[in-house]
Amino acid sequence: MIKAIKGTRDILPPESAVWNRVEETAREVLSVYGFSEIRTPVFESTELFARGVGADTDIVAKEMYTFDDRDSRSLTLRPEGTASVVRAYLEHQLHRDPQIWKVYYLGPMFRRERPQKGRFRQFHQLGAEVLGSDHPAIEAEVIELLQLFLDRIGVGETELLVNSIGCGHCRPGFLRKLQVALSEIEDRLCQDCRRRCRSNPLRVLDCKREACQPVIERLPSILEFLDEPCRLHFDRFLGYLERRDIGFRIVPRLVRGLDYYTRTTFEITSRGLGAQNALVGGGRYDGLAEVLGGQPTQGFGFALGLERVILLSRQGDRPASAGQPQLFVAPLGEPALDRASLMAREFRRQGIHCFMDFAPRSLKSALRLANKLQAGHVLIVGENELKTGQFPLKRMRDGRQILVSETEVVSRLENGF
């Protein structure tokens, strides 16, 4: 038997109803905050991510689904959405518009990670990006909207972790200091970290290996190296959070796993998720547009793992509703089925959620199935009923039954029988 690929999964009903509810809530919240939807392609040129996300990140070095197209061009299934959004912004020359650009996306991303609880190879992100503003208040506002969304979904307790990783001006000083500190303790780090000590020392701070943690803890903190403008930006950001009563914890090691960040970085975590505890990740990426060959453009955004949000929302006590049929149409015999299915078409056109039963079965067995589906009512369509034009309509809640004509059915259902 052919099975779904490891790290991918089918979203079946009734779980798909939970997805719809979460996505609808996301659209509502993002729209009141002035975000519009963007849909970018699922595959892009490999170079976009290699340059945008950074060649020495885990994502680019180990996790991308990359393949040569038939014309030998290297393509990659998108591992994240920010690089694509910035590419689209530049490609469509949206910087000409003086306004800030606020967009969101919902869709599948692909990373070849080791699958575990909350971690997949095809997963789904809700992401939002604000291009064209360097104001720290916009950062607090984006976090505020995330809080509203997570509250509405009911994911339970979360923690906001924040940091600043400085800019091209102040980070090199920190990196020099970090490199010196790393050279002294390098032999106590894992192989990946040792490689990164030379290629991309900031990434060492991001290592998740248990054994490296005590060593990393004692490395210098980037916050002590911020220049005046970066320090001021960070303080103002924290001030805007405080004025919104948004609690946070400053984590100087929070450098995030992608290379495009400048200044503010943040994550929202939840204890309910186990090892993969990051629900949301984001930050500022003022240099990304230039790395991609475009005009300097300030950017800030986040992405949230929908599988993880849904995992948490299902831990609450709200069962998913697949939607029970209002009406179960039970034809008795093949000739009646043809007319009954045309009747069902009419009921549906009038907005009735209708289950049409095509299986040959007895009335008793039809009623049993209607019960199982939690149908509100059953309409019985047999040869005799078609002759007289009067059909038994049974209310399942109390078993009450009345005779109705075809044209009366909808108004009966709408007016409570």
Q: List the Cα angle 228/184/58 in 5-degree steps.
A: 70
CB of 296: closest distance to ligand HAM in angstroms? 17
Contact residue for ligand HAM among 80, 259, 385, 406 (CB under 6 A): 80
Which one-letter DSSP state was computed for residue 161?
E
Closer residue to ligand HAM in complex, CB, 125/336: 125
Rule CB under 6 A: say whether 394 interacts with ligand HAM.
Answer: no
* Per-residue tokens: 209: 């290996």
Q: Is residue 164 within the footprint of ligand HAM (CB under 6 A)?
A: no
Contact between 87 and ligand HAM by CB under 6 A: the answer reads no
As given in the structure block, the two tokens for residue 62 are 């180990």
Pairing of strands 101-110, 122-131: antiparallel
The whole-angstrom separation of Cα 278 and Cα 159 is: 10
- Quick check: 279 binds ligand HAM (CB under 6 A)? yes
Please provide the distance, in angstroms rounded to a whole number, between the alpha carbons at the two ends of the chain.
48
Q: Quick one: which of 52, 54, 301, 376 contacts ligand HAM (CB under 6 A)?
A: 301
Secondary structure letter of residue 406 according to DSSP:
G
285: helix, coil or strand? coil
Are 111 and 79 contacting, i.e. CB atoms less than 8 angstroms apart? yes
Does residue number 196 form part of the binding site for ligand HAM (CB under 6 A)? Answer: no
Enumerate the β-bridge partners of residue 263. none
Cβ proximity of 163 and 202 under 8 Å: no
Q: Does 270 bind ligand HAM (CB under 6 A)?
A: no
Segment interacting with ligand HAM, rule: CB under 6 A, options 30-38, 279-287, 366-374, 387-395: 279-287
Q: Is residue 81 involved in binding ligand HAM (CB under 6 A)?
A: yes
Instruction: Decide if 322 contacts 360 (C-beta within 8 A).
Output: no
By CB under 6 A, tell whether 52 contacts ligand HAM: no
Window 99 to 138, contacts with ligand HAM (CB under 6 A):
111, 113, 118-120, 123, 125, 127, 129
> Could you say whether residue 255 binds ligand HAM (CB under 6 A)?
no
Considering only the stretches 18-26, 79-87, 167-175, 385-393, report the one whose residues sit in contact with ligand HAM under the rule CB under 6 A.
Answer: 79-87
CA 232 to chain centre: 32
How many Cα atoms sit within 13 Å of 142 on the Cβ side? 33
303 binds ligand HAM (CB under 6 A): yes
Q: Which of 94, 100, 190, 278 binds ligand HAM (CB under 6 A)?
A: 278
Residues that bind ligand HAM (CB under 6 A): 80-82, 111, 113, 118-120, 123, 125, 127, 129, 257-258, 278-283, 285, 301-305, 307-308
